[in-house]
Copies of this chain bind each other. A is one copy, B any other.
């Protein structure tokens, strides 16, 4: 597997799962709609500024993003490990915004409750047929 193979795999998936570590050191998982933008090693999601995950990433930026494809008895999965930044600057918010987002953020692209999560991948593990391959992102 190469970095490009991993990117091709994740682009096919409609759901992403993001992991954070809470204030007591426990891992937390949440499903997200597929990333808005993938740009080099950076993966962007939109989110609510008031959400618990934003508070968790501001306190501890260690993160993972997981994608999977289910077969009958097994899975293909890619776990990306890296750091999550919470972006509230207008250029980043503009970069990710889509028209339909007004459904979630009534005040539009400048809504203070609209934030961007920017995940920077450092390495990935790809699981398939009970085998694991590690791919470094540099």
Cross-interface CB contact of A29 among B25, B60, B66, cutoff 8 Å: B66
Contact with B along A50-85 (1 / 0, CB 8 A): 001000000010111010101001010101010000
Q: How far is the CB of A93 from chain B (nearest CB, A)?
A: 19
Check A30/B77 contact, CB under 8 A, given A19-B19, A21-B21.
Answer: yes
Check if A30 sits within 8 Å of B79, measured CB to CB: yes
* Size bracket, chain A contacts: 20 to 34
This chain's copy number in the assembly:
2
Cross-interface CB contact of A28 among B14, B25, B81, cutoff 8 Å: B81
The chain B residue sitting closest to A72, CB to CB, is B33
Check A27/B31 contact, CB under 8 A, given A52-B132, A73-B103, A103-B73.
Answer: no
Given contact pairs A15-B70, A28-B79, A48-B130, enumerate 8 new A-B contacts (beta carbons under 8 Å).
A17-B66, A19-B29, A21-B21, A21-B25, A28-B64, A30-B79, A31-B68, A31-B75
